[in-house]
Structure 1
Amino acid sequence: MKNFEKIKALVHKNKENIINHWVTAVTSNSSIDKTREFDDCSTILELVLQSIEHDYNNISASQSYSLLEKELHSFASFRALNNFTPTQTANYLLEFKRTIYTFVSDSAREALAEEFIDFNNLIDDLAVLTFQIYTDAREETIVSQAYALEHDTPIVKISQSLLLMPLMGIIDTARAQKIIESLLDAVVENQAEIAILDMTAVATFDTHVANNILKTISAAKMVGTKVILSGISPNAAMTIVKLGVDLSQVETFNTLENAISHANERDGLSLREAS
């Protein structure tokens, strides 16, 4: 059985220094936010440690490795959408490997040699996976941006007081401004009480998208329209929590069907109260 007992002991002994060294390596000569990188490095390191609790041949089938893959997917997708270069992304896990090596004393190199062969292969595989996710996300972004440029964001009138705006593609600053303007024009023209923003077809939910959505909600509120969100997937919800985005004052629904049902019930209640 091939295990990583010596490497685990080395990492646990030097964990704080390893993280600091790694963050310094990936942020040198750049304007990357060190706070975010510290969080990413810490999370990835912890998931790698959990994964190597298993012997080398069983790692890929473990729950820990599955969690590590999901984290790397989020990590690489974020970089693809936020103008990180391919080199920065590809080197990230390779820098992690180099960092581990710096904490191995000369006297311990021979004892750790066999474990490091498998560890090296594991990290190389993770680096390739990360770069592939980054590449796929970049291609998806290009396609989504092209689609968004060719198609206006439609607004559907569900009822006298309810509008639906299904969003899709990448919501950058220019599109966000267009969304706000289109929604405000529609709610004023229709005197809508409620507008649903459906996020089902939004490619990626990150801080930038969240802030643009919050601006849209605030603008609609100023003209007397309540905005609710639908199509919030479990992965998007986890991302929102991780990013610290405050949507506590916004009604959210996992499906458009649930959002429309809620809005209709609310509309019916308003009519009964008015009568």
Structure 2
Amino acid sequence: MDSRFKQLVIDNSDSIVQKWMNEIDSLKSGNYTAAISDELYESTNREFVNVIFTSIRNQGSTKAVEDFSEKIINLGWPLSYITDGLQVFRRVSTDYLLTQSDQVDSDYFSNVLTSVDNWVEPIIRELVNEYSGSWEHILSLQRLALQELSAPLIPVMEGITIMPLIGTIDTERAKLIMENLLEGAIKHNSEVVLIDITGVPVVDTMVAHHIIQAAEAVRLIGSTCILVGIRPEIAQTIVNLGIDLSNFPTKSSLKKGFTKALEITGRHVVDIEAKQNNIEQIMDSLQGE
């Protein structure tokens, strides 16, 4: 019976596809696909229904399913587009098969439902699994890219490096900060490392603990760590929490921290213009004598 139903659906695919397209089009307005152009929506729908019929004809073939699920992800369309489309196909195919018999009894009705389910359920599983797998892969790549950018160590001059931190610091990111600090300090032969927390919205006990651990680790390899970017509200929070930051220097701004780093490395900022004026005054004085 299933093979007969399958052949009926395949032989009358044009009629079923047209009914499917009409119902899918009615879902477009007011839902997740409303902003999609009509041309792209129609071409994708036709590709979708072709994938469905290809899967029915060649049960066990997953290449078309894999390619289509990857395309939907690249388009940025939600998983509900796939599930809605397959539910519409289930309904349209069932209605069509029920109209092909003059006498529909319970056995016939049951056989139709079972046959359609046997076609649609494997496609749903394949598409959902492929979609989910591809989406997880993309997310993992994005997560790795964000991690690489989330804790950069920037050498600004010989012996001085800066690590600007932006956003929330959790345990996983704190571990990455620690690794980058140690590797970068050794790689750049840093005497002073500035940790800039200007872009960190909240400094609680956990965040402060992670920062203290990172600073202590830097100290153990022979470098000095300076915490900069401590805003008034952050300072008040640190005091209220009883967090001890007395073991390494802290500054309110990156500018002040950089000046301190120059002092630690035996350098200082010189006002070139003022110095030039002093030299000119001395020269004028010597010439007057």
Whether TM-score is above 0.5 comes out as: no
| TM-score for both structures, normalised by structure 1 | 0.43
| TM-score for both structures, normalised by structure 2 | 0.41
